[in-house]
A and B are shown apart, each in its own frame.
Chain A
Amino acid sequence: MADSRNLSRIITAGIFLLLVVSWIIKAMSGMEASAWLNIRNGALTTIAAFLTLCIYSFLYGDNPFYRFAEHLFVGVSAAYWMTLGFWSTIVGNVVPRSFPALAKFFKISFNYELGTAWHFIVPLILGILLLMRLAPKMSWISRWPLAFIIGTTAGLNLPRYLQSDFIQQINNTFITLLPGWQGVGPFFSHLSLSASGQLVMISTNVVVFVGVVCGLIYFFFSKEHRGWFGVASRIGIWVLMLTFGASFGYTVMGRISLLVGRITFLFHDWLGIL
């Protein structure tokens, strides 16, 4: 037990020593320009590289370095969004538009010609009602703003999704099963496997049509998937699985690019050897 502790201490010390050395090298590399600036930028890049390695250490397993980066990240990012929202939306827009006098008193820079927008009072009140959650006896009142948000967006979604995800998609499925059909005679006399040939185009459209219908049948909940219905549902799930496998394989390239980006950061931006 004691040995492994010492070992981990040695490893930790080694890692920090490496970081310091890399920082010094980084800072020295362009010294003549501006010493202070180089030391500073070198330190920032080294910190970023250290945090990058902390996260990669998760690939081995949970460890103190990962925990450190994780917890730091959580705190900083939570504050980041909070600060951004507070200063840019509440102080930067809502207050000057609903209480210009107050905003002018605090010298908030804003285009005051936009005039007072009293309607912003409503979300301010709803927001304060939401904060009532913190008072146990009044927490029921915080449901009002929740109800408002959920009601609004449900009403918003209802017709819009019906249009975009539903009617539009149905419309796109209105394909002709026999594109460029000129009769049975010409079809057989020009039979070919070329991609622009009629056979291929027709089979493509048929596959799309059958795929959509079978896919929909797979999603039937209140009918037993047996007999011909079961067969169609089976075809449906096959088409889905084929697609999922292909999408998975197709995504690999993009993910490797992300990794390449980080490796480039470590070896080029930080160590300068790529």
Chain B
Amino acid sequence: MRRQIPLLLVFVSGVFMVIQYFVPSAFAERAYEFLIDWTIIIGIFALALGIWSLVRVSYNKIRTGHPDAMYSAITLAGLGLMIFFGFEFPGVSYKEAMRVTQAKDYIQSEFSGARDAAARRVFLPESETLSLRPDSIKTILTMAADSVAHWVDIFKTSHWFSGADLEGTNLAAIMTTTEQFKSISSQYTSVSPSDSMALAGLAGRVSEVSQQGIAAVDSLKNLSDVYPLTGGLENYWFIHFFDDVMIPIQATMFSLLAFFIASAAYRAFRARSLLSTVLLLAAFIVMARLLPMGPVTIGANKLTQWILLVPNLAAKRAIVIGVGLGIVATSLKVVLGIERSYMGRD
């Protein structure tokens, strides 16, 4: 029984997926999506098993006084800290604080940008303001209004501002500014590009309105940008462990390949046999395309292209067809229960 039920499960789920492939109906499609979701969720439970194994091995090393005991303690410390900082303590997250601060900056720069563009249009000669025609000022104003509305949404969803803070004067003042931007923008349509008096008047209005908006933003409560414990996946330390520990190590490990590819080439590219000479020559030609040697380089470049386009295509196709066949054969063996070495025995 202990072996039959899993084998039956493999067979049933396997055959179901094969049939599903041939059924385009929405029902089959949904079933497919469910099964894929399920395997992801089971995978997370399995990750707990993995963590358990890691902790057990590390702990055993510490307990038995293995020479690496100290390093195992570092592993456990890193593991513990990261899990701890990832915990969703309620409160403002680092990223949220960054977003709110950023939103304030952006709103201010939208307001002052619109103000400056309107002023510039009045003072610059026609030839240099092709990109600042009256109708483009109009666009700048409406675009500023839209983008401010977007940034204001970030205030609204933030934990930081209490409802009263937002519903009250500040937010209302910001939104009024954007409304006024829109109404001024429609007035630009009726102004002729050469009517500098009218343009100056509008620019003055824009400037006045934007000042009010900027003041409203300034009066919003300031945030500190570090919240050491709160925020879960957006916690300050969680993010920085990722950015300043994981990413640099990862990128450096990856870049070790530059050295290893060189040492592997030195160690292994020897003309020992006909076959290894083919390998060596192909690599040599391809690398020679970067040497600054005029015609040799150009020849190598041509040959490289040919190898990549012709024999490379053939070889890859042969491998892919073989691999495809192997995958199909092994899948079939698995579904039919012929291949069951992964299942263990009691």
Contacts and interface: CB of A to CB of B under 8 A. Distances in A.
Our verdict on whether A and B bind, yes or no, reads yes
Interface stretch (B125-133, B197-205, B247-255): B247-255
Contacts of B50: 78, 82
Interface in A190-239: 204, 207-216, 218-219, 236-239
Most interface-central of B243, B251, B317 (chain A CB within 10 A): B317
A75 B52 contact: no
Given A59-B256, A245-B283, A255-B261, A79 B79 contact: yes
B48 interface: yes
Given A83-B86, A123-B38, A258-B258, A147 B287 contact: no
Given A143-B344, A158-B18, A249-B287, A79 B82 contact: yes
Nearest to A269: B248
A99 interface: no
B11 A71 contact: no
Interface string A121-153: 011101110110110000010011111111111
Nearest to B305: A195
Given A140-B2, A164-B324, A249-B284, A55 B253 contact: yes
Given A207-B311, A262-B252, A255 B257 contact: yes
A108 to B, nearest CB: 9
Interface residues of B, number: 122
Interface of B: 2, 5-7, 9-18, 20-22, 34-35, 37-52, 54, 68, 71-72, 74-83, 86, 88, 90, 225, 232-233, 238, 240-259, 261, 265, 275-276, 278-287, 290, 304, 307-325, 327-328, 330-332, 334-335, 342-344, 346
- Give me the 4 closest cross-chain CB pairs, A-B, nearest first: A215-B318, A211-B314, A165-B324, A155-B17
16 contacts: A48-B247, A52-B248, A52-B251, A73-B249, A75-B78, A81-B47, A85-B44, A134-B49, A134-B52, A147-B6, A155-B15, A158-B328, A210-B314, A216-B321, A248-B286, A252-B287
